[in-house]
Chains A and B, each alone.
Chain A
């Protein structure tokens, strides 16, 4: 955090000053470790084993926050008796189909609700469409009142299942798998549990490198389980803080430019599942479920109205049919492979540099070299714009400029000070930026580019009778413009504030801005581009532009910017009060029920219906918002409870399970199933994987070391915003490879000299940096070395170097289709790598020695266990 989010880290230092204990778990000793009380080095890719060990410590010692747990989580909920845990099936849950490598999830459901699960075909489709991302806000949509056992004794209640699932995650096991001493591990256990409860809360902070694993979602799930067990969610000083890495990456998921989402986490419709408006909306809101997603029809129709304005009417399903439909995986990695295969013709890169920033750089560049046309919009001439003349593949002869047919348009972009608009930072807070000055020359904003591209397309298609052109011609695309500066007249800059107003939503008849998503209607009388952002323009005022100094307001600072939803700064904050609505303790008071006033009150906007008392119980047969009881803080979940166990929405299992990284030198010590059995894999010759057990020892030994990557304080991801700047280039001028003194001795590496790192994809070189910030770990009784690399360099900019992401292959988390790019195996050699065509020969030699292209089996659990797991699904089928 001190390295990648330095200014955010000041708050950790403030907490430390006030007595907080700071623990840093990281493979490498960093500036964060230097300021922490304890640094715990860990083997990369073993976080579920580590956190699962703490879960086991809590459960076996009964150290959970019992009152919170019983009232606010699904600990007491009873799961179907068909459910069989990974403990029994060698690392697989019940319902596994080895052919599609997905689960029939019916046996994972709560008791009496087995029908709400998915057949394995349904789960396969969910993986293809990364559907778990929708659950980012809407959670599982199961019927609202599952059976419970408040004594937590029922053998199939979530609490007991959890206990059995994690029972083997002992301190000894943690030591064996993670390379963390039992002593260090127990110190973390003690600190975490002692600092949680009525009076105290513990925060879990992660950076989004956590998501870049084949089990990334389950990493975060393990953290969520722990924080729920200890009562740390929805409370001040608690929670799980995702430190996102880009100015508006939160905004980019809220108002997504993602293939599987529409604004506000509404799913992009699927050709089979969502043939019409009704089925689409019903899939989201799941009749019978509790919670605010029951209003999904109002959110969805308001969005359609914002897209197609007057053309969207009740008669035509509000133009639902105009939305293109998904049929499978259309993610960025699938798309790049399709470029290589010649299926994709045109590509827009908008402030993004995949030639350096995406996994498997060579595939990215070969894909771009096979397009008809490419539009790059950026501040600088980044590698993704110039791949045809100076990429590593030009050096190896794989891209020959005279033979590369891709037309490239490099359009200069306006910088953050040359345009107005909002970023959504990592706490879901929108901050409006004022424009400081006009952009120079041809520099323009994305807003300008897309507005005018849309205008030109509509001009060209005007008068078309083709049915496919209706969505463009009927599009609501008339934004007011700023008619001044270099962009004027026909080419003027559209008003970002007008777009923000459309996002916020308004009443069609009066154009009155909505102040809350509760005002959205399903009858076409409201427009609203992103329902969770409604309120950002409440009362016609740009709330994101609020700048009341922090020193002049409360510590929650509600009048600086605007946080979604409804300007709440802590989500699910109803949980900061006990079931009766009283603060758990004075010290941790945040939001509470004011009996006299008959409403919720406190330091923040209550995340609960303002006047619904803690004593409220749902009437028989209630659903939606009415079904949320006074003690259900998790108002977006179908049962109102925090999910320790997740019956729906996850592809790889209802509980996190330790699987080895896809590339690992070690056999899974807990289960026969080596790595995530449901991971998304693209087995092709141009995407070879380094071998892992149970492949032969000789093959695995070709890549004996583990490597990981992260950022330097002085650079920004793919370097497009840092390598082209004098100061930052001077501060960190050169690509390097950090190794321990022990590994340096083993491989003959000299500090300051050259070395190169090799995988089945490529070899990259850098200067050797020998430090004891990296320590060899003892794992499974033997020593393992970890290598660390920053990933900021490429062929462009003031300082150049090899791109670390060239080392990774493409394997994805099955839930969200994010690549495993924080861990892999490698070889490290002294000296520089070969250049020109010799580089490919060199890498191919490794591939051959490691038999890296032989397609090692993914399902490695015991064959009987696989059969037994599948049999559970078959039983369900017959029933």
Chain B
């Protein structure tokens, strides 16, 4: 019993030199055996928090093709390694069990989701764009002005998309003649 008490970390902390309990007083054989999962990661990607526009730096640790940790990047002059509750939860964002990983399809008048493979879905969407565009095409508007466009297709994008993505979206919409493309930036 006494021996057990003597090994008690608080006692070690109070009687030893490590009064604040930040060094040897709180170490054990077990401590020496374990290591932070960040140390054994296969690789680290330099990333950026996807929530607000502060743009805090993130380090994304991957092991066995799984994200095992996301931490603040101390090198970032903006965030200096810090993350707020949302940034800290971003591992939860990318690994959440609620994430959709399969295409879902709801047919007209349907009451349930159905499965669809990705390629089929892409082809169906392309077919719909082609036909809606043809059906709603305007070479000129009701005042005879040349407009060459469709007002039958619209889009609304979030502001966590990449610049490169936005570039292709606007480029394709413009070439399709679809002008009603909007973004959270309007909201």
Contacts and interface: CB of A to CB of B under 8 A. Distances in A.
A324 B174 contact: yes
Nearest to A714: B85
Nearest to B51: A716
A345 interface: yes
Interface stretch (A352-360, A597-605, A774-782, A855-863): A352-360
For the complex of A and B, 10 pairs with smallest distance between CB atoms: A550-B77, A425-B55, A421-B162, A351-B158, A441-B101, A324-B149, A246-B159, A249-B159, A436-B45, A456-B126
Nearest to A556: B77
Given A373-B128, A434-B47, A471-B148, 5 more contacts: A250-B53, A327-B141, A417-B60, A503-B164, A533-B163
A15 interface: no
Contact of B180 (A259, A402, A407): A259
Given A324-B178, A408-B106, A447-B165, A257 B170 contact: yes
Interface in A408-424: 408-412, 415-419, 421-424
B93 A409 contact: no
A274 B175 CA distance: 18
Given A416-B47, A419-B162, A456-B122, A358 B187 contact: yes
A616 interface: no
A435 B176 CA distance: 30
A725 B93 contact: yes
B156 interface: yes
B89 A725 contact: yes
A410 B165 CA distance: 18
B88 to A, nearest CB: 8
Residue of B89, B107, B171, B187 with most partner-chain A CB within 10 A: B187
Contact of A378 (B100, B154, B177): B100
B184 A725 contact: no
Given A409-B105, A415-B50, A431-B48, A379 B125 contact: no
Given A437-B67, A443-B101, A332 B52 contact: no
A20 interface: no
B125 A453 contact: yes
B75 A549 contact: yes
B136 to A, nearest CB: 6
For chain A, which range describes its interface: under 10, 10 to 19, 20 to 34, or 35 or more residues? 35 or more
A38 interface: no
Given A351-B157, A502-B167, A5 B182 contact: no
Contacts, number: 483
A8 interface: yes
B26 interface: no
Given A246-B53, A345-B136, A407-B107, A727 B161 contact: no
B33 interface: no
A547 B75 contact: yes
Contacts of B60: 417, 436
Given A447-B164, A728-B86, A389 B109 contact: no
A423 B53 CA distance: 9
Residue of A330, A427, A437, A714 with most partner-chain B CB within 10 A: A437
B176 A437 contact: no
Nearest to A461: B130
B103 A388 contact: no
Residue of A321, A424, A450, A461 with most partner-chain B CB within 10 A: A450
A372 B132 contact: yes
18 contacts: A257-B173, A258-B185, A268-B179, A322-B148, A323-B174, A324-B149, A332-B180, A349-B155, A350-B155, A351-B161, A358-B187, A401-B109, A406-B108, A407-B107, A503-B164, A560-B78, A716-B51, A724-B96
A227 B70 CA distance: 39
Given A249-B53, A440-B101, A722 B67 contact: no
Interface in A798-826: 798, 816-819
Interface string A436-471: 111011111111001111101100110000011001
A324 B175 CA distance: 8
Interface of B: 43, 45-57, 60, 62, 65-67, 70, 74-80, 82-90, 92-94, 96, 98-113, 116-119, 121-130, 132, 135-137, 139, 141, 143, 145-187
A248 B169 CA distance: 15
A450 B159 contact: no
B116 to A, nearest CB: 8
B168 A416 contact: no
A817 B186 contact: yes
Contact of B164 (A378, A500, A560): A500
Contact of B53 (A244, A401, A460): A244
Interface in A363-396: 372-373, 375, 378-381, 385, 388-389
Nearest to A798: B98
B103 A410 contact: yes
Contact of B153 (A10, A345, A427, A715): A345
A411 B121 contact: yes
Contacts of A239: none
Contact of B158 (A322, A352, A442, A725): A352
A385 B117 CA distance: 18
Contacts of B55: 247, 423, 425-427, 429, 431
A669 interface: no
Contact of B163 (A324, A326, A421): A421
Contacts of A496: 162, 164-165
Interface in A756-794: none
Contacts of B57: 431, 547
B152 A379 contact: no
Contact of B46 (A130, A375, A403, A547): A547
A608 B175 CA distance: 36
Interface in A211-242: 212
Contacts of A460: 126-127, 130
Contact of A499 (B48, B141, B160, B164): B164
Residue of A430, A442, A553, A720 with most partner-chain B CB within 10 A: A442
A433 B164 contact: no
